[in-house]
Structure formats: structure tokens, C-alpha cells
Chains A and B, each alone.
Chain A
């Protein structure tokens, strides 16, 4: 052993001759290691989804027919430049809460909603203001709205919470974000299914449980993972709604 040659370090005494160079080298290496790691790890993070709140568009106020899937949708009848009539909006409240309670009494009726939109290529979601300022019954007769059944489909993709996917959080999907997504979905934020390839021109759809129920608890274990699943698909305006057949969810291998 080289014990004889190794200078003996005692913390409260001056650094022994012969150890100074080594300690200085290790110190510099350590700081360099930390600096390099920061640049490499920090500088190679994946780009998050291209989606965001659009506060810059200002507050949007539109009128439409409320549909409960059970997650409430607004089929816009009276819009503006940004949100033309015929558009369908998913709705959410501030934070990790949905607007189910506020929309409940308005099913099939005309309502005026007001809030800020989230954009992910297209505008499909609006975060409503608090209370009745966010959503309230509007005057007039609600026109009948079409729901177009598209048959039973087998799809591959990921269950996300719609709000984070739409840019409320970046990144807003994946397994590191799973608990947050679950928390959103527990709070009745509309869950969405992002598909690997477009379906009827869309790469996402609102996903619900079977027969007009909320996303079942069993599906929570699969949130943020890549799965295949089956369900009945329907079109409501420009938003697709998938009725999940719960037992068909399966993880994609590899």
C-alpha cells in the first residue's frame, strides 16, 4: 500500500505539502462537472407541446347550446371572429376543476360563456370566469344540435387531461405528469385521448366512460401511458367524443 507516501490530511491543520495540487484539481473538476451537467441536462430538455393559454386574445364571450357528455361542451351558435358559430368548445374552470356543477342545469339550453381560450393548433377549450359571469343561461330558443355517430373504433394513444394538454401546463402529458393529470380528471377537467394518427381529421378527442358516464376509475391507472382502447366515436360539431369501452384498455408493448 502507498500509505507511506500519502500526505496525511488533518482538517484543522494547514493542508500538507503534496496534497494541495490534488485537492485543487479535484475542486476544479467538481465545479466543472456541475457546470457541464447543468448545461447538458438543462440544454437538452424536450420541447413541450405547442400549446398555450391565449390571454393575449383577451376575454372571449360567446353563446351556444350546452351539452353534457357528461363533460360539458358548448356548441357555439353566436360567436365572434375567433370562435365562429358551429365551433364546439370544451369547458373548464380555473385551476384543476371542471364546470360540471355550473353547467348541469343548462343541458340543452342556450348559455352565454365567458373566459380565456387555450390553443393547441386549434381553439377547442375555454377556461370560464368564476360563478355566473363564466356561464349563465341566455335568452332564446336553443336550436337542435346534431350528433353524428361514427361507429366503433380501436385507437392507440394516450389519455391526458385536456387542460394541461392544451397548454395550461407545459409539459402537460406523459408519466412524470400523471399524478397532475389524474388530479385534473378527478376535479372534472375534461379528459382527452390523443391518438397516434388522425381520426376523422382530429388527433385528439374528448374521452368519457360508457353510456354518458365520467371516465371510469379503472382508466386512471392508464393515464399518461401509451394504450390501445376501443369505444364508440361520435362527432359533436368539430369535437369528437369517444365512449370508452373500459375493459378494452391495454398497454402498448415496448
Chain B
């Protein structure tokens, strides 16, 4: 029970911090790192859930863009060989999971009859 509460508390705090990051980023940061956002306000509420969920990544990218650490070449390097790994690993995982699920599946054991192992003790009430 305490583990569950700890997890929920952590999730709550994650959300609270994310909310603060969202306010600061959308109110201050976004105009400075993306010229397409300049003067565009209607779409900003749409970003709030995203910032709340992945705020550490938002802070990291914000830092990269604001500090000039971002290099143009990174944008044009799709990791297509990684996709190949997923494309082969996922089918294997799916088959493994289904086989495991079928293997542990039980059927109602109505062939097992109740069995009295010993009669009631004599001295009981």
C-alpha cells in the first residue's frame, strides 16, 4: 500500500513540476527558441499536456536550443538501422508473449474429484 502511495505521490509531483515548466516555457521560452511560435498562441494550450508528461526532455531541448548547442546535422540523421532492430525484435516479442500466455492458460479441472483425506477427529464438538 505504501509503495502504491509513493508512486502516486511521485506522479503527482511530476505533474506539478511539469505544470510549472509548461507555464514558464509557453509564456517565456517558446518565443525565443522557435520563430514559428512567435505570435501564434492558439496552439499553445495543446502543448501543455506534452510538456507536463515529458518536461525533463523539454528542459534539455530548451537548454540545447537556447545555448546554441544544437547542431543542424542532428536533425537530418534518421536512425533507420534502429528501426530494423524494432522490426525484427517486435515480432519475436509478440510471438513469445502469446506462446507464454497460451502455455499458462488453465482449463477448469472438473476431472479432479473432491477427496476426503481423513474423517473428523473424535474429540471435536
Contact = CB atoms under 8 A, between A and B. Distances in A.
User: Is there a direct interface between A and B, measured as CB atoms under 8 Å apart in the complex?
Assistant: yes
Interface string A180-220: 00000000000000011111000000000000000000000
B113 A197 contact: yes
Interface of B: 106-121, 124-125
Given A228-B112, A252-B112, A151 B106 contact: no
Interface of A: 147, 149-157, 195-199, 225-226, 228, 230, 251-252, 254
Contacts of A230: 117
Nearest to B118: A152
B interface SS class = loop
B109 A252 contact: yes
A156 B112 contact: yes
Please indicate which of the listed interface residues B107, B113, B114, B118 has the most CB atoms of chain A within 10 Å of its own CB: B114
Contact of B114 (A147, A154, A225, A254): A154
A108 to B, nearest CB: 14
B112 A151 contact: no
B121 A149 contact: yes
Contacts of A228: 109, 112
Nearest to A147: B125
Nearest to B106: A226
B107 A155 contact: no
B98 to A, nearest CB: 16
A196 B115 contact: no
Contacts of A153: 114-117
Contact of A251 (B106, B112, B119): B106
Contacts of A147: 125
A252 B119 CA distance: 25
A151 B107 contact: no
Please indicate which of the listed interface residues B106, B111, B124 has the most CB atoms of chain A within 10 Å of its own CB: B106
B110 A197 contact: yes
